[in-house]
Every structure is written in C-alpha cells, then in structure tokens.
C-alpha cells in the first residue's frame, strides 16, 4: 500500500509531509513524496536554462523537508516529475494505486491557483483514492 503526497516550495509542504508521514505510519504504508516542477511558457529575450531552474527548485524543496524526511518507521520515496502539477500528481497516485493522496490547500498562492487551477480541487475530483487536503495555518 502507498500514500502519495504532493510537495512544493511553499510553506505548507512541511505540514503536508508531516500529515502524510502520520497517515503512512497509521496505515503501515510506504510514502511517496512527489514534487512536480512546472514552468508555464514565459516570453523572455534572455535564454533560460529550465533544467537548472528545475534542479534548483528540487534542491530547495527537498532541503526544506529534511527535518521530517526520512521518517522513523516509514519507507519514503522521493519522486521528481516535470509538467502540470495537478494532473501529474493525480496520474502518479492513480498509477501507484495509492490508498491516499495528500495535498495542501495552497501551493503557489491564490493568483497562481486562479490562473493554473487548484491542485486540491482537481485531486478531489480526479483521484481514484481518498484525498486528504491539509490547510495552511492561516486557514485553520
């Protein structure tokens, strides 16, 4: 059995990881922490090395989660993907036949959610498994 959790560079990712670890312990399941790098098409006259940007983002995400990962008693797998986060996260959870998908209410913020869509909203509607939505502190 597997619990899948979506993490990014936002402050809520720590809470998502902690909730996912607790659920994986309770369920005696493996935990897959999934980071999806996404860069919408941006017009720029300056060449951008998106591979370097994605690598820096991955290092930041995994670095901020170091205090809680690895978790005692839980096998944790780190997964890095690139693409549209809501769809790739749900596709990954469905492909793993996860028993639970854990996401946060806010990742990149309100404006990005308005433009790109809410990961938690899409997950609730498209995931085949149960979905746990972790609220940011200011929403609690």
Class of residue 26 by CB neighbours under 10 A (exposed 0-12, middle 13-18, buried 19+): exposed
pLDDT in tens, 27-80: 999 999 999 998 766 666 777 777 888 899 999 999 999 998 877 889 999 999
Which residue in this structure is represented by tokens 């809520």? 12
Q: Which two tokens stand for residue 63?
A: 């670095």
Read off φ and ψ for residue 101, nearest 5 degrees: -115, 125
Q: What is the pLDDT of residue 138?
A: 63
Task: Say what the pTM is.
Answer: 0.86
pLDDT in tens, 106-136: 655 554 444 444 888 899 999 999 999 998 7
Q: How far is CA 114 from CA 65, 105, 108, 134, in A?
A: 26, 13, 10, 19
Q: Before 43, cis peptide (omega within 30)?
A: no
């Amino acid at each position: 059995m597997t619990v899948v959790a979506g993490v990014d560079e936002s402050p809520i990712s720590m809470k998502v990881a902690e909730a996912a670890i607790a659920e994986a312990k309770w369920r005696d399941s493996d935990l897959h922490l999934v980071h999806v790098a996404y860069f919408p098409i941006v017009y720029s006259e300056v060449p951008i090395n998106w591979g370097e940007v994605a690598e820096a983002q991955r290092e930041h995400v995994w670095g901020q989660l170091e205090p809680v990962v690895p978790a005692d008693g839980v096998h944790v797998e780190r997964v890095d993907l690139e693409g549209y986060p809501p769809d790739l996260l749900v596709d990954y959870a469905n492909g793993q036949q996860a028993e639970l998908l854990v996401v946060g209410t806010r990742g990149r913020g309100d404006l990005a959610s308005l433009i790109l869509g809410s990961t938690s909203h899409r997950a609730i509607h498209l995931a085949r498994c149960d979905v746990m939505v972790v609220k940011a502190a200011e929403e609690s």
